[in-house]
Structure 1
């Protein structure tokens, strides 16, 4: 997280409520990756999925056009290990001792994504990550703590520390044999932002 925070310093802060207008293709890219991680969840492995949002800001809205993925440095970065040991686990509980719970974006991948954004004329707007129905899939101790598309206490800590303009939570659950999802957007102070997904139907562009 300190590596991520350092690269967040130059990003714009939210001054007023702005809508998040999400490309359907970008959202489908994340959902595809999230579904693969979801399929691998076991009672001991919550599995994570995390993406960086690329897009632009215009006329009171953030337009998300693309999602890029990076590696999780949760267990390989000395700084990450120290942050979890000294701050996150004591503050948010022993559940975060699990090495596959929570995400620490590899700083080399964040730098690569930042350079890609510059190359294609987009900005890094924030992040999107998966919340599975861990209260159904996880151990008995998680039954009374359901996740949703709202930020967890750990998410709030990260959102406020990073200060990215957009933080999207995607909740994914299996019901009646099918996967269902919901998404919600939050600003750097964990206030809700209106989120809309672009409709890919004939005549929808420019209207």
Structure 2
């Protein structure tokens, strides 16, 4: 007898991820992915910039910052007192997981304000660590679903949109899968939006006829 896990997707909101923003993140993720070794699970993390519209979340761009996982006192305390005891010694690895540098978050927020955008949340990479990592990782495959530690961080961040991007390399090419979650860890519908030629606004020198 088998049991099937049922994941409820909210009918109220969807995350509409622009193709250009997704491609920016995937380019960064593939670069970091190439650096992963058995002892170095290099992360990739970005902030989602966009706007709310009629109940949906429109992701227009992504912004990157530094990982303060080992330098920020609050981060060090959180990992030492909560993350490692609760989610396991794997998180003792100083390059596992991400803590956005507060100075970079401030910079990103100011730049978003200048552009008329809001910080909606974050996106981070899950690599196929069960293939790339040490033998003890083989029995615990990652995918596009959040880990228990991810859920803890989603709830703590207060951000309304949290995207997980699973990246793997098989048969000579990268593949990826995405999922989106709100601050309560309920799943959100996620769609990648690509502007059609008719959706592109004419430039100053363009004219009809």
Q: What residue is the counterpart of 1:151 in the other structure? A: 146
Q: TM-score, normalised by structure 2?
A: 0.88
SS of 1:17's equivalent?
strand
- For residues 153 and 17 of structure 1, the distance between their equivalents in structure 2, rounded to whole angstroms, comes to 24
What is the CA-CA distance between 1:177 and the residue it aligns to? 1.2
Pair 1:27 & 2:22 matched: yes
Matches within 5 A, 1:73-84: 73-84=68-79
Q: What residue is the counterpart of 1:71 in the other structure? A: 66
**Count of aligned pairs between the two proteins:** 192
What is the CA-CA distance between 1:16 and the residue it aligns to? 7.7
* Structure 1 ranges of 4+ moved more than 4 A: none
Q: TM-score, normalised by structure 1?
A: 0.89
Q: What residue is the counterpart of 1:50 in the other structure? A: 45
Q: What residue is the counterpart of 2:206 in the other structure? A: none
SS of 1:194's equivalent?
strand
SS of 2:52's equivalent?
strand
- For residues 129 and 105 of structure 2, the distance between their equivalents in structure 1, rounded to whole angstroms, comes to 27
- For residues 96 and 152 of structure 1, the distance between their equivalents in structure 2, rounded to whole angstroms, comes to 12
**Of 141, 155, 160, which residue of structure 2 is paired with 1:165?**
160
Please tell me whether Structure 1 or Structure 2 has the larger radius of gyration of its CA atoms. 2
What is the CA-CA distance between 1:162 and the residue it aligns to? 1.2
Q: Which runs of 5+ in 1 are unaligned?
A: 1-14
1:8-47 per-residue CA deviation (whole Å, 9 max, x = no partner) reads xxxxxxx983111111000000000000000000000111
- For residues 22 and 155 of structure 2, the distance between their equivalents in structure 1, rounded to whole angstroms, comes to 24
**Structure 1 residues 75 and 141, CA gap change in structure 2 (3 angstroms):** same
Q: Which runs of 5+ in 2 are unaligned?
A: 1-9, 202-209
